[in-house]
Chain A
Amino acid sequence: MKYLIWHYRRLPLLSRIGVWIIMVFSATAIFAPLLAPYSYQSQELPHRLLGVSARHWMGYDELGRDILSRLIYGSRISLLVGIAVVSGSALAGTMIGAISGYYRGWIDDVLMRIVDVLMAVPGILLAIAFVAFRGPGVGNLITALVLIGWVGYARLIRGEILKVREFEFVQAVRAQGAGDRRILWRHILPNVIDPLIVQASLGMAGAIMAEASLSFLGLGITPPTPSWGSMLNSARNHVFEAPHLTVFPGTALMLLVMAFNFVGDGLRKVRLQSQT
Chain B
Amino acid sequence: MAGLRGEERGVSDVIAIAFMLLIAIFAGVLLHAYRLDAVTSAADRQLQLKAEYVYRTLELSQVENYSLSYFEAVAENMIGLGETVVPENYLVEKIDNALSYLTPPNCSTVVELTKDNQSWIQTFPSQPASTATQFTFSGAVTIIIAEAGENRVAQVNARVTIFR
A binds B: no
Chain A interface (Cβ < 8 Å from any Cβ of B): none
Chain B interface (Cβ < 8 Å from any Cβ of A): none
